[in-house]
Amino acid sequence: MFSKVLAAVALLGLLAYAAAEPNVFDDIETGLNHLIGHDQGRQG
């Protein structure tokens, strides 16, 4: 239960940060893809 709340708070924080810094969307996408492991073959 706590982990879900923590994840929701983190997501809201990311969204608020992204709303303040529109250019950060690419960084978030790159970071998430790297964490998930979907960035193979997308170099360059």
State pLDDT tens for residues 1-44: 889 999 999 888 888 877 777 677 777 788 888 888 765 655 55
Residue 38's SS3 state is coil
Residue 4's pLDDT is 92
Which has the closest alpha carbon to 34: 18, 13, 26, 17?
26
Q: What is the pLDDT of residue 26?
A: 77
